[in-house]
Structure 1
């Protein structure tokens, strides 16, 4: 889900103790400003001459107020400050509006040597939003629990509650959600609302998520998963996946435990014994600290405890050695792992591993997976903990896909770092290869298409994002669309040249995994915010590479070229003053647009929910030139008649109603590629404009509005050498047209006396038939073998409704 944070919302000076009469700073000289798709700045860089002084949060706050144009109700409060190895200080601010926290909204001031270099982030414009709830927190919690629908929650488990109190050393600690009033964007409407935020931890079935309930309507407006599915002595442990390994353990009465305290606050591994209670979990114990295969490679898979312990230690070592980071929170946090977990105690096996916001949890697998404690899985899951303590990317749609992608990146990086150090052999660019019962892997970072992931942004296998992310749609494709970030990382680390599926040639010279990791983590830690999109990841990674290696360095060039390879470029904004009308097909159950090709625009796809905004994809055409556009329909089964219209806003006035702007109009029932040629008028206006392709089941569909079946896709056309308008409409060429009759419901004879024969498109089988008279009353009419017996009807006009089990067809007939 994209969250847009606009320019009115950040800092109330009095909240920072700054006098209202403080003298304003001189305006710094802006060298570069990168705008988001709605025109808000996501990155502002300042020129060397005219940079402003930075002495602390007050200076940063004043600069943000000046650059972002904040109102009196807008607040921005400092949250944390970090200083990196490059000498940058990153002061982070959280957004508030009239004292209410704005979820996922944050801005950062980046300073070095006492002056501000840049600012970056996301923010929300909230003028006029009411902060008075009409729903009680108790009623909101009831709604949230009804939405989750678990049979048992953690606070209903007395042992779990007692364990939490002991872990936190707080007698008042509880898993029961308290509810916090926040402002958040409604995933369905994309509008900010006042909401209650609940941290709901379910025990059966297992889930943990922030659930946001509209404080006025009681509607659940967003779910942000916390559990993200992946899916003193030295011991010798015969692990299941990584051979015999030396592990740090704890000496205890009666033997040795899988606990150690040489890394941060410790690493501990426990046995859930095929149960779902952390408090009932026990230590693994060995008498001589030599954990042999004879002892632990048993029917219970106890040898995988060594893998979990080894994976946690290796992950800690990677972050310390490569990124100078102490544990996932950079404060030495204890890493606790629980193996042999089963959400149904004594069940058939749990096919998941996850970070639940505080501990690692590993199931033993069942039909698909072996126990899920492989080294890259450990690195992946702890990577979610790192993300939670840095960018905290919202677990839905593009931000959620990058959350998953970053975890795959860290899983691969941890695995390669550890293998190089210990002389192990594993497949760096395959994720989860050790845990698959049938072989292969969960995902391939070097070839995402191999396991059904996209290698191109919104290309083949891209899963549709959604306004209603849920587990049923994988939170808007988070485990699928992560393939784009995975492939980008592979390209910058290893390098590759070729042509992507959009027809764009690319060449990336690999910079090695060490530099790739440094750039990626700086992007995640310093620049990304909770709502970051792929377009913003491009901006932020290029800036991270520039910080580390310089603007013209091989590393920055590689990062930039890799984004080209995966189809992510800067967002193309519409012409100033042009706001295009909305349009959307209602259903894509039977047909959709599956190909659009014009110049360098070349996109194949599945159904995109009725409308696809492809304005980030563009091609350049010259005024006066002849062009060929290709497109095609995808069908679930029957190839129905579809009406095609293609528009170009040649004069860039924000509509498609001027003479000559309809460049294609025709129909076809073919699933093959259709082509049309058109000439760009010499008087077309130079610059970027909108190209709109419409496929509808209705011939009357225009350039705006909604229609029943089909899809619309928008792209950007860059016109060169032109000026203002007049073009002749083009016609479809290629597949013959004029076959609408053959693709409609056919009735004969009509008028009918005794029998009316029905023929569906493609001679499909009739699933249901209804006859209504002129009053709308349903009439019982016998039907068999394609023939409707109308002999019992009175003379007159009737409406016939026929379905083939997919589409419904309507027609009229006369009985005489």
Structure 2
């Protein structure tokens, strides 16, 4: 789509506004990640030969994700669900600094880990000492926002916040957090950044701003209030005469609810922009009639907001057993008659969740007051997302943030229309508020409202406005949910025919919410949503169930992934097997310099940690004995290296099956090494992958990145194999090798640890210590000189945890110690 993006296409429902190009152009957004991820999205361990207990979660994460020395995953949350699963969420840290959008979840049942899901940011070398002070970074952030007034500058707003949080020290004034953030077109360049939560009062906005801690540039903005600061058009909806929860106060009644969670409260901002100046809507006899409230001031919008919050709470409680948006009974506060620029006569055509409360404007030229039932449910849906997947409001993750809110708007509307006998259109979003067209969006026919119904198809927005088209590209998720619920047959924009049998809105909602709550992470994209929703359907209804088939084929219908291979109506085209990444991070000191197997014979220098030699191939016969030769090149000293050779005998795209690790051992020799293995008769005939991994770490496996060393891939053509296409078994192998047993990972010894005055340092193989640097837990270097002779004076250090960076003149080793 061209960059002259129409204003009407930018109608927001999370906030609801029309963005301007001028407002949007200065806002950096995270681009979608490449299809080839830097870590596995989902690791399934069911039926694996080596299972992990939940108590071994850290071990499972470290081994399966091949965490580097500087990487940490720290547990942040544990929850259990009705299916008997326990979910432990982990946050990534690099050298003690939090990595934004780097999070993984461990899923276990009956004490055994079944799968891991999430995304890890691979960071090789990054300076974690900021060059820009927090105060200076905050000024850069405030200059970027350019607001006339901020919330912490209003004493009344500060007092209200302190009262609400029951904390006299509470403040809106931003406190900087040092984090690592991936930026650039594909998030390939992690930067150290100061993160601030900046809440502006005039004009209203609230967002997390990330300031590069070295350059001072604002590199990313993640909206908390899901709208762009601009003008727009929205409206209110009516749901007939409803019974609303109120309470009696000072001789009248007000819109207060005490039985749902910690309460539902609805306030009147009186066409102003102050929450502290808001007052209660009151009625003398608790009979809130149209004669009193259907007036020029649109006071009947208060009843819609209160009913919308009440109806949304009931849906989540009755369908999912969830107590309010956070699952812990959080109070739902709604503010009606809000106007960000009082007195300008334009009205406020927006509605949004601001991270704390629901805010509704009265609309204007195009729209009525913005308190329709599906709009209320949509806004509270953003609060649900914040407390679950917390999808970043940018590009595909932002589109899914919007899409899930539309899904919950449709579900809440359908559920309550049935309860109360209301006439609503489930698949139109905002149909009650739009004065100029049928609705803001259509889930059944997105293209009718200018949204894509097919991934990167017609109407897909590829520009940078609207945070990367979050309110346009959400149409793909919306249409997937509609097809999953209702079913549909036809030919999609990719020219592929599809046929989906709908599962109904209850089952579809269960699949969608488990995807959002259990599996999705902040930076997930559409491909991840497909993977996770299929897994969610499998968890809920079983492998091969009608729901799993429908989930898969509904994604196929909207252009994300292949059709269901066992039950879909369309056979997907053949696909190339994709192997996991394996790469050494440092080849300065050692690398693979020779490989020979059959007609493959290659001598080489450094290849940057990985060499793709799959264009080179040799034939090996099933049942034959083969000898493979290889050697390491060293810059100077010869280190002990661990060698592994893998062959994917059953051609399933991994090296984890029995017998596929055909060679394993270690050697400190720079001479040519050899090993003999036997090709099993049950190997599958055809071309497959040969992988050779040389690493100084004995824990290195066939996947992931590691410290020192190199991986090389080649092809072998197996002849005479007997493995059937659907047989995943491989015969166990026996083989001889001239290699030694695998050497343990070479580590520095530091003692005593904890220490009080001095620590002694011993390098592997009795190497000579050439230099030592001391860093605090943040990675900041400290002035502790090394005097030599393998001993370090630490008496001047304060009590705490430190990291030693120790060099032998070539390699650098890192070891943690505690000063008492």
**Correspondent of 1:543 among 515, 529, 535:** 535
1:502 shift after superposition: 1.8
1:205 shift after superposition: 1.1
Residue number in structure 1 paired with 2:454: 456
Residue number in structure 1 paired with 2:445: 447
**1:211/1:220 contact within 8 Å kept:** yes
Residue number in structure 1 paired with 2:109: 112
1:391 aligns with 2:389: yes
Alignment of 1:632-651 (within 5 A): none
1:36 shift after superposition: 5.8
1:697-726 residue CA offsets vs partner (Å, 9 max, x unmatched)? xxxxxxxxxxxxxxxxxxxxxxxxxxxxxx
Residue number in structure 2 paired with 1:588: none
Alignment of 1:462-611 (within 5 A): 462-466=460-464, 473-569=465-561
Q: Secondary structure at the match of 2:470?
A: helix
Give the direction of change, closer, same or farther, for the CA distance of 1:576–1:521 in structure 2 (3 Å limit).
closer
**2:394/2:470 contact within 8 Å kept:** yes
Distance in 1 separating the partners of 2:392 and 2:575: 25
Give the direction of change, closer, same or farther, for the CA distance of 1:263–1:311 in structure 2 (3 Å limit).
same
Alignment of 1:216-231 (within 5 A): 216-229=214-227
Residue number in structure 1 paired with 2:67: 70
Q: Secondary structure at the match of 1:163?
A: helix
**2:237/2:432 contact within 8 Å kept:** no
Residue number in structure 1 paired with 2:49: 50
**1:155/1:175 contact within 8 Å kept:** yes
Between Structure 1 and Structure 2, how many residues are aligned? 539
**2:381/2:408 contact within 8 Å kept:** yes
Alignment of 1:259-270 (within 5 A): 259-270=256-267
Give the direction of change, closer, same or farther, for the CA distance of 1:171–1:315 in structure 2 (3 Å limit).
same
* Unmatched runs of 5 consecutive residues or more in structure 1: 6-34, 232-238, 467-472, 580-684, 689-816
Residue number in structure 2 paired with 1:789: none
1:375 aligns with 2:373: yes
Distance in 2 separating the partners of 1:478 and 1:222: 16
**Correspondent of 1:103 among 87, 92, 100:** 100
Distance in 1 separating the partners of 2:285 and 2:391: 44
Residue number in structure 1 paired with 2:791: none
1:240 shift after superposition: 5.3
1:510-553 residue CA offsets vs partner (Å, 9 max, x unmatched)? 00000000000000000000000000000000000000001111
1:349 aligns with 2:347: yes
**2:183/2:219 contact within 8 Å kept:** yes
Distance in 1 separating the partners of 2:257 and 2:579: 61
**1:43/1:121 contact within 8 Å kept:** yes
Give the direction of change, closer, same or farther, for the CA distance of 1:573–1:400 in structure 2 (3 Å limit).
farther
1:382 shift after superposition: 0.2
Give the direction of change, closer, same or farther, for the CA distance of 1:250–1:230 in structure 2 (3 Å limit).
farther
**1:455/1:483 contact within 8 Å kept:** yes
Give the direction of change, closer, same or farther, for the CA distance of 1:153–1:2 in structure 2 (3 Å limit).
closer
1:55 shift after superposition: 4.1
Q: Secondary structure at the match of 1:481?
A: coil
1:147-199 residue CA offsets vs partner (Å, 9 max, x unmatched)? 11111111111111111111111111111111110001124572110000000
**1:179/1:197 contact within 8 Å kept:** yes
Distance in 1 separating the partners of 2:172 and 2:213: 22
TM normalised by structure 1 equals 0.64
1:19-47 residue CA offsets vs partner (Å, 9 max, x unmatched)? xxxxxxxxxxxxxxxx9623521101113
**2:91/2:102 contact within 8 Å kept:** yes
Give the direction of change, closer, same or farther, for the CA distance of 1:364–1:423 in structure 2 (3 Å limit).
same
Residue number in structure 1 paired with 2:195: 197
1:345 shift after superposition: 1.6
**2:32/2:186 contact within 8 Å kept:** no
Distance in 2 separating the partners of 1:378 and 1:229: 15
Q: Secondary structure at the match of 2:551?
A: helix
Q: Secondary structure at the match of 2:247?
A: strand
1:444-469 residue CA offsets vs partner (Å, 9 max, x unmatched)? 00000011000000000001154xxx
Alignment of 1:394-405 (within 5 A): 394-405=392-403
Distance in 2 separating the partners of 1:55 and 1:335: 36
Distance in 1 separating the partners of 2:342 and 2:146: 19
Give the direction of change, closer, same or farther, for the CA distance of 1:329–1:576 in structure 2 (3 Å limit).
closer
Residue number in structure 2 paired with 1:811: none
**2:484/2:508 contact within 8 Å kept:** yes
Residue number in structure 2 paired with 1:316: 313
TM normalised by structure 2 equals 0.64
**2:32/2:395 contact within 8 Å kept:** no
